[in-house]
């Protein structure tokens, strides 16, 4: 198989895209790049600098500081994954919390933030041999990607998966709240003017409502092997 393909994996939140992409990259000996982590890191930067007041982003304060934001992924052999660093500090855990999760969509609609993250994604992926997951990888970041997948599942199933995750972590949050958060993120991600979440015309859709992670990996590896035959 060609060693330098660009594989774009887009889709809705909580479809397990990142875990899936990580495993696909591992199977192929590729690098996995989680583009959502970049929007999450920018959100954390905005929170740290108090540019989010009463759930409103102070865009005019954040935008001029974008050039000061350094985002890197470093492989951690102990966790066997790439971890996100914001200005040289490991923020992998912090960017997954509810505070960042609930403010990331309004940050990801800011055109200057998108331009900044997209340029970084293009630079990280330019040599190929990557699996990049996100919302607009097949449409905007790499419109000429070798293979595009679009992962989806019903909102209820996705909320249930996230709810169980929070429960395991001992977080006290109701299913209805989690469902509302999933639906609100879908709404913002799909309706934003600049680079909205949508399936690329040439993307292959995978609905994993009735598949677990292992079964989804299997289905996607099958698609990849048919594709590279
Ligand atoms: O995949 P995720 O849940 O970590 O993404 C976090 C947020 O970032 C989500 O609200 C959508 C946004 N995002 C985006 O707009 N474009 C991407 N390529 C990746 C994520």
In three-state secondary structure terms, 220 is helix
Residue 134 beta carbon below 6 angstroms from any ligand 1 atom: yes
Residue 13's pLDDT is: 86
CA angle 72, 73, 76 (to 5 degrees): 140
Cα–Cα distance list, 25 to 3, 41, 44, 107, 217 (Å): 11, 22, 27, 28, 11
Q: How far apart are CA 88 and CA 225, in angstroms?
A: 38
Which pLDDT score, from 0 to 100, does residue 97 have?
Answer: 86
Asked if 43 contacts 100 with a C-beta cutoff of 8 angstroms, the reply is yes
Q: How far apart are CA 214 and CA 220, in angstroms?
A: 10
Instruction: Provide the pLDDT confidence category of residue 1 given band limits of 50, 70 and 90.
Output: low
Nearest CA among 52, 156, 167 for reference residue 105: 52
Q: Could you report the per-residue pLDDT of 138-177, keeping only the tens digit for each?
A: 999 999 999 999 999 999 999 999 999 889 989 889 999 9
Q: Which pLDDT tens digit goes with each residue over 82-132?
A: 899 999 999 999 999 889 988 998 999 999 999 999 999 999 999 999 999
Ligand 1 centre from 185 Cα, in Å? 9
Q: Are the C-beta atoms of 151 and 200 separated by less than 8 Å?
A: no
- pLDDT recorded at residue 84: 96
* Residue 37 CA, closest ligand 1 atom number: 4
Q: Is 22's pLDDT higher than 90?
A: yes
Count the Cβ atoms, other than its own, within 10 Å of residue 35.
26
The average pLDDT across 62-80 equals: 93
**Per-residue confidence (pLDDT) for residue 16, from 0 to 100:** 92
| Domains of the chain (ranges, CATH numbers) | 6-221 (3.40.50.300)
Q: Are 118 and 140 in contact (CB under 8 A)?
A: yes
Span 50-65, average pLDDT: 96
Could you read off the pLDDT of 122-131 as tens digits, one per residue?
A: 999 999 999 9
| Sequence-ordered list of residues with C-beta below 8 angstroms from that of 8, at least 6 positions apart, any chain | 132, 133, 134, 137, 138, 141, 142, 145, 147, 148, 149, 200, 203
Residue nearest to atom 6 of ligand 1 (CA): 36
Residue 195: the pLDDT is: 80
Could you tell me the distance, in angstroms and rounded to a whole number, from the CA of residue 103 to the centre of ligand 1?
Answer: 11
């Amino acid at each position: 198989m060609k060693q330098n393909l660009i594989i774009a994996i887009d889709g809705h939140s909580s479809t397990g895209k990142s875990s899936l992409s990580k495993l696909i990259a591992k199977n192929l000996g590729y690098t996995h790049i989680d583009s959502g982590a970049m929007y999450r890191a920018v959100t954390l930067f905005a929170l740290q600098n108090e540019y989010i007041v009463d759930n409103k982003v102070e865009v005019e304060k954040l935008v001029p500081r974008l050039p000061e934001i350094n985002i890197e992924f470093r492989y951690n052999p102990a966790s066997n994954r790439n971890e996100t660093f914001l200005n040289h500090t490991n923020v992998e855990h912090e960017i997954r919390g509810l505070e960042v999760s609930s403010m990331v969509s309004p940050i990801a609609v800011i055109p200057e933030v998108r331009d900044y993250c997209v340029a970084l994604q293009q630079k990280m992926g330019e040599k190929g041999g990557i699996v990049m997951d996100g919302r607009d990888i097949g449409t905007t970041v790499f419109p000429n990607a070798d293979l595009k997948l679009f992962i989806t599942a019903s909102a209820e199933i996705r909320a249930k998966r996230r709810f169980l995750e929070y429960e395991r972590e001992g977080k006290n949050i109701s299913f209805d709240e989690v469902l509302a958060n999933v639906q609100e993120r879908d709404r913002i991600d799909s309706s934003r003017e600049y680079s909205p979440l949508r399936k690329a015309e040439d993307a292959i859709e995978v609905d994993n409502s009735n598949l677990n992670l292992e079964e989804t990996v299997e289905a996607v590896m099958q698609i990849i092997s048919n594709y590279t035959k």
